[in-house]
């Protein structure tokens, strides 16, 4: 069992439903108002984190609504008091000096509850149509490595001069830095070899896509032993949850969502066409049919309350400390999970008690 307390977070609905778009129980809604209310409800239910994914245009279909991540993160930070706010960022969309300043602003608005989720891009049109260009997979990671080096050092208050292949920053200093800790936390997504090397060198938390326990354990084992100059790396997992009183009831609910998700085949075809085939996330997601994004139900959190709680315990024993969760219909199932699953997990292991402040202050 991991010595770290378990935390539970939610994916904000920045581009609508996470499992199926044509669900009569959850009409499409990616509005600011819904996301605001969702994060506030999550905080009141005891969730520890909220992840706001970044897309400038909807990655599934360009005429669908898409919430803007960083303005939403700043607004949510001002409205909440305890929950961690994680905003995803694609380095090509913001110069690192500008992004570091934005991050420090939200860090202080939130009183030390902000984090960056570094994603080195997979949606080609988002960059191509802006005239930025979509570099080859490993080149994007090389760019991201320089980018996060600059961001991290500026967020820590360093007066920075940096000359690299992509950036030339001279005698740059940002004030104020974090008023609450050394800097905001850095989450890193991606499972390719360049992604693993990047998170080992620069990340605080590795955000793994939903997949079976044995695969997750192998990923953790590979990255956990890599040399680091800072605190040990922590691990998070994305997962879509379908939990009911009995396994049969959960399977019925899962099959309903699976049938609904099949109606989204044209939208998914657009996503595949727009995605870099070298992105490991997409390769992983194509191994089996599942509900949800970023691996979704492939993590196996479908079953009775007791079964789901036990599977979470098994992932925790393998090293997962944060579960970033998806549901549908989101609000009702998020409440169900908080009332039925979290107490079971906490009761099964004293170390599972949440300790979000310790994590938030534990950056280098």
Q: Is the confidence at residue 352, as pLDDT, over 70? A: no
Query: What ranges make up the beta strands (E) of 168-275?
Result: 168-172, 185-189, 205-208, 234-240, 242-244
250-294 residue pLDDT tens: 999 999 999 999 998 888 887 777 776 666 665 555 667 999 999
> Is 2 a domain residue?
no
| Mean pLDDT along residues 338-353 | 86
> Is 1 a domain residue?
no
DSSP string over 251-320: HHHHHHHHHHHHTTHHHHHHHHHHB-TT-HHHHHHTTS--SSSTTGGGG--EEEHHHHHHHHHHHHHHTE
CATH number at residue 11: 3.20.20.30
pLDDT tier at 4 (50, 70, 90 boundaries)? confident
138-147 residue pLDDT tens: 999 999 999 9
Name the β-bridge partners of 150: none
Domain count, the chain: 1
Q: Is the confidence at residue 314, as pLDDT, over 50? A: yes
> Is 351 a domain residue?
yes
Query: Could you give the CA distance from residue 233 to residue 205 in angstroms, rounded to a whole number?
Result: 6
pTM value is 0.93
| Mean pLDDT along residues 49-75 | 93
What average pLDDT is seen over the chain?
A: 92
- Strand, helix or coil for residue 22: coil
User: Given this model, what pLDDT does residue 285 score?
Assistant: 56
> Is 172 a domain residue?
yes
Q: Which domain holds residue 286?
A: 7-360
């Amino acid at each position: 069992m991991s010595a770290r307390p378990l935390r539970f977070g939610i994916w904000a609905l920045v581009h609508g439903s996470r499992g199926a778009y044509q669900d009569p129980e959850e009409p499409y809604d990616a509005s600011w108002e819904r996301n605001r209310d969702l994060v506030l409800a999550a905080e009141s239910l005891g969730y520890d984190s909220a992840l706001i994914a970044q897309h400038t245009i909807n990655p599934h279909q360009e005429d669908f609504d898409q919430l803007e991540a960083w303005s939403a993160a700043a607004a949510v930070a001002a409205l909440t008091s305890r929950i961690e706010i994680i905003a995803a960022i694609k380095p090509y969309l913001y110069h690192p000096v500008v992004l570091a300043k934005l991050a420090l602003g939200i860090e202080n608005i939130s009183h030390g509850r902000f984090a960056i989720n570094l994603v080195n891009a997979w949606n080609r049109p988002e960059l191509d149509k802006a005239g930025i260009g979509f570099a080859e997979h490993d080149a994007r990671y090389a760019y991201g490595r320089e980018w996060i080096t600059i961001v991290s050092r500026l967020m820590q208050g360093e007066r920075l001069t940096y000359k690299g292949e992509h950036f030339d920053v001279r005698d740059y200093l940002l004030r104020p830095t974090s008023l609450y800790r050394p800097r905001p936390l850095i989450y890193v997504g991606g499972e390719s070899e360049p992604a693993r090397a990047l998170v080992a060198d620069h990340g605080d938390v590795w955000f793994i896509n939903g997949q079976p326990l044995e695969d997750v354990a192998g990923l953790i084992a590979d990255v956990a032993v890599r040399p680091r100059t800072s605190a040990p790396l922590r691990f998070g997992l994305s997962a879509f949850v379908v939990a009911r009183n009995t396994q049969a009831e959960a399977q019925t609910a899962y099959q309903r969502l699976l049938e609904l998700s099949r109606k989204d085949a044209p939208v998914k075809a657009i996503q595949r066409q727009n995605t870099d085939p070298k992105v490991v996330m997409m390769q992983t997601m194509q191994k089996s049919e599942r509900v949800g994004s970023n691996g979704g139900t492939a993590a196996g959190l479908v079953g009775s309350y007791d079964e789901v709680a036990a599977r979470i315990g098994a992932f925790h024993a393998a090293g997962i400390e944060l579960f970033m969760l998806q549901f549908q219909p989101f609000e009702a199932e998020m409440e169900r999970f908080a009332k039925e699953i979290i107490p079971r997990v906490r009761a099964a292991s004293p170390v599972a008690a949440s300790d979000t402040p310790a994590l938030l202050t534990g950056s280098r």
